[in-house]
Amino acid sequence: MIKTLDTFDFKAQPSINEKLVRELMVGDYVDRRENVLLVGNSGTGKTHLASALGFAGCMQGRKVRFLTVKGLVTHLTEMTEQRQLERTFNHLERQHLLILDELGYVPFSKTGAELLFEVVSRAYERLSLIVTTNLPFESWTEVFGCERLTGALLDRLTHRGHIIEANGASYRLRESKRRLLRPRSQPQESRQTQPRQS
Ligand code: ADP
Ligand code: MG
């Protein structure tokens, strides 16, 4: 789903560095092959912002791909089986900006972790990556299962990288609570005649 900054309420998420987000929207970081890491709890707008940055990139004429980490790893695993892996890597390398959404929700198999590492390695200084994650850095080893690989991956991602932290309350949850608490608007007469519901 396309999301833009017009519909993003920065006041609802004061932990987010608005100035940095607005600077990134200009797109120069892509020319410099810099990465962006959006880190924070669920529902804090990470995917919204990643999508807005991706959409801005498209409007600037850049080649952008938006993938979930799980979708990418599954695709790469299938391509390995079909001996098409190199073609897929070449295709990814031709992008200017690759957005990898939702790192950390699902732990990786050893092969999955190695495939993702390969993507990050090949992207390093060739194209920009935006990664969204709910994982604090100290927990990355648990998901990747290997300390050395995690260190090397984080090194590549964060070198020349921008980190946007989103650590407030979930916007999703806030909206749901607001909806549930909103009084139902009913005409006066029908309210009187309706039977009580438990
Ligand atoms: P995350 O990826 O951090 O889990 P999302 O970006 O998917 O969160 O946000 C969840 C929902 O709430 C989406 O529909 C998103 O558009 C909306 N949302 C989140 N934060 C904000 C915000 N600050 N202003 C407007 N909408 C927001
Ligand atoms: Mg998300």
Is 35 touching ligand 1 by the criterion CB < 6 Å? no
Enumerate the β-bridge partners of residue 118.
none
User: What confidence category does residue 186 fall into, taking pLDDT thresholds of 50, 70 and 90?
Assistant: low
Q: Helix, strand or coil for residue 198?
A: coil
pTM > 0.75? yes
Q: Please state, as a whole number, how many other Cβ atoms lie within 10 Å of the Cβ of residue 58.
A: 14
Sign of CA dihedral 155, 135, 54, 164: negative
Tens of pLDDT, residues 78-110: 999 989 999 999 999 999 999 999 998 778 899
Whether 138 contacts 108, CB under 8 Å: no
Q: Identify the residue whose C-alpha is closest to ligand 1 atom 21.
A: 45
The CA 192 to ligand 2 mean position distance, Å, reads: 44
The mean predicted confidence, pLDDT, of the chain is: 91
Q: At CA 92, angle to CA 90 and CA 98, rounded to 5?
A: 160
Residue 182 has pLDDT above 90, yes or no: no
